[in-house]
Amino acid sequence: MEKEGLKRCLDKLDANGLAVDYIVTDRHPQIQKYLRERGITQFYDVWHFEKGLSKKLEKLSKRKECEVLKRWLKSIKNHVYWSATSSVSGPEKVAKLTSLLNHIQNIHVHNNPLFPKCEHPDVLSRDRKKWFQPGSQALYKVEKVLNNKRVVKDVAKLSHHYQTSSLEAFHSVILRFTPKNVVFPFIGMLCRLYLAAMHQNENCQREQAITTTGQAVYKFVFPKTKRGECTAKPVKTEPTYGYVKDLMVLVLDEVCLDPAPYVEELQSIPVPPPLSSQFEKPSKEHVISQHVSRFNQGEAGTQHTVLLHSETPGVSGAPHMTG
């Protein structure tokens, strides 16, 4: 499904003369192969990569010999994002991420010329227990995760700019126009998707709201992924609906005056048959005769009901035998 949707979107862009420079996706294997065969540069979404890496590290931190890792989980998450967004090349991203193995040992000078030294200021820590000890089992296991061939390969392809979060935001907009609990005909669904796209295009660049005193507005949320940790989320300005006015002007000034070309264009849209059309429709009487609800299974004479009435004490009235 994902591959087919991507294929149709890229074909549509090509048909309209729009060349794709690169694309940001998750690490779906079929998508990787398809884009590679098509010759399109692919970058990976940082959130999806970080989520998979964090799961492995969190599982590792539950081991007794790796308890020191618990102190570093949040810092490692932040370091993954920083490595991706502050770099301009794949090797630089790898150099910054793998420097973490030195950093957690309180070593801040590295052998890689692409990132020879940590950029944070020198800080003397009195808590020696927070550092990993050279040669320890904890360090060995963390190094095994971070230096995994696939991890290193994927880090080099992390997106340093765009992420798939904007696409997720568009999906939430689509749900406002096409709720899942309502069935729409094909043309109705298509029109609602167009409305969702117009709404997204008009409002995707909204700025953060500010108070009358000029302070930025935030709201506090408790994401379930952070397990009770409170997070400040910027509040955007109210959405605008200028596209609605434009549509009304189009309808009143052009469509109402000469609807024929618009009706013809609408009727030329190919409408796929319903999914149920591929199945043979049985007779109404047959479907009703096969209908059995949870409350009349006994009348249907199922094997479970027969056994229940014949053997279950307190239901069939049979005496309960012990010993």
> Is 265 a member of any domain?
no
Q: Does residue 143 form part of some domain?
A: yes
Q: Which amino acid would we find at residue 115? A: F
Predicted pLDDT at 296: 62
In a domain, 212, yes or no: no
pLDDT confidence of residue 295: 59
Choose the final residue of a domain: 140, 155, 170. Answer: 155
For residue 196, being part of any structural domain is answered with: no
**How many domains, the chain?**
2
Asked whether residue 39 is domain-assigned, the answer is no
- Residue 10 near residue 20 (C-beta atoms within 8 A): yes
pLDDT at 321 (0 to 100): 53
Note the pLDDT of residue 123.
73
pLDDT tens digits in sequence order for the chain, 323 residues long:
888 999 999 999 999 999 899 999 998 889 999 999 999 999 999 999 999 999 999 999 999 999 999 999 999 999 999 999 999 899 999 999 999 999 999 999 999 999 999 998 877 777 778 899 999 999 999 999 999 999 999 999 999 888 988 889 999 999 999 999 999 999 999 999 999 999 999 999 999 999 999 999 999 888 777 777 888 889 999 999 999 999 999 999 999 999 999 999 999 999 988 888 888 888 888 888 887 765 565 554 545 444 445 454 554 455 555 44
Task: Give pLDDT, residue 306.
Answer: 47
Is the Cβ–Cβ distance between 80 and 71 less than 8 Å?
Answer: no
Domain that holds residue 286: 282-312
Residue 271 lies in a domain: no
User: pTM for the full model?
Assistant: 0.76
In a domain, 297, yes or no: yes
Domain membership flag for residue 194: no
- Residue 304, both tokens: 């479970």
Q: Which two tokens stand for residue 306?
A: 């027969």
